[in-house]
Amino acid sequence: MDTEHTGVDSGALDAYSRVVTGVATKLLPSVAALSVRTSRGQGAGSAVTFTDDGFLLTNAHVVAGANGGTADFADGTETRFDVVGADPLSDLAVVRVHNPGAPAAPLGNADELKIGQLVVAVGNPMGLAGSVTAGVVSGLGRSLPARDGRRVRIIDSVIQTDAALNPGNSGGALADSTGTVVGINTAVAGYGLGLAVPINSTTRSIIGELVANGRVRRAWLGVAGVPTPLPPALAERLDQKLGLRVVEVVPGSPAGNAGIYLGDILITAGGQSTQSVQALLRLMLGPAIGTDLPITLLRKNALVDVVTVPAELN
């Protein structure tokens, strides 16, 4: 036996184990197993405490059709919870327990993740409370369709991981090596393929709206577009390869009232590049309603500035 190499492998395993056990020790007290009962039957999932006064973050599909349920924590505490608000279009929901006491888990920024980075999933799969699995970030920038009635929206920047996820993990924490929550586990897409809604500036806004209002107000412009390449000279000058070519403008909509026409190419909105439909949708949250949104567009080889006022999406 090659004792030298065996020692190296053992040392590496010890370091890996120390990270995973450290994350588990930090997060297990903050993660609850949720039980809900609806007209469709009984369901289960996980949730992560993110405030000291008992607010927990989970998936919208975990609490769909329920007003409340039961939360069980790792220390044996069982308490009722109420659903504060849910947003199916981001698959995020906020619940609040009746007897708070669990420590708040720190929320991080998934935009800083790197492919290959170690992540740890904490949840309650298959009714097995307090389960911990580990893996790596397998992919970033994935997309996941979400539906609310007839409305369909793409959840972008979804995290792909090979950390084992099973039914019941939904709503649980995906954390980095420091025990900071960077995602909420949401789906098992196949063998060795799990997905998590990222914690970033967009989802933080959604969480804030759910806590404050119990729902997420969304804005709309009344315009549909498809990504299209910018002219090479302009792309080089702006350091931006794509824009959104307008293929539909709803009459009387904020876009129509602002003077946006078919064939225009949206380049920036609110100072941010609009290279995809998702980039524009990220701006269409509650704070945008009734607020001036400057847009720069390309029309007949000329740059044109217009100002829109997004309206609330009903």
Q: Which residue of the set 61, 90, 131, 253 is catalytic?
A: 61
Residue 162 to residue 148: CA distance in whole angstroms: 28
Rounded (to 5) percent helix, strand, coil in the chain = 20, 45, 35
Q: Which residue of the set 30, 35, 170, 276 is catalytic?
A: 170
61 among known catalytic residues: yes
Q: Which residue of the set 46, 90, 91, 157 is catalytic?
A: 91
170 among known catalytic residues: yes
Given a contact cutoff of 8 angstroms between Cβ atoms, the answer to whether 182 and 119 are in contact is: yes
Cα→Cα distances 178→26, 49, 107, 126, 197, Å: 9, 17, 11, 26, 19
Question: At which residue do the structure tokens 């959604």 appear?
Answer: 206
N- to C-terminal Cα distance for the chain? 69
17 among known catalytic residues: no
Q: Which residues are catalytic?
A: 61, 91, 170
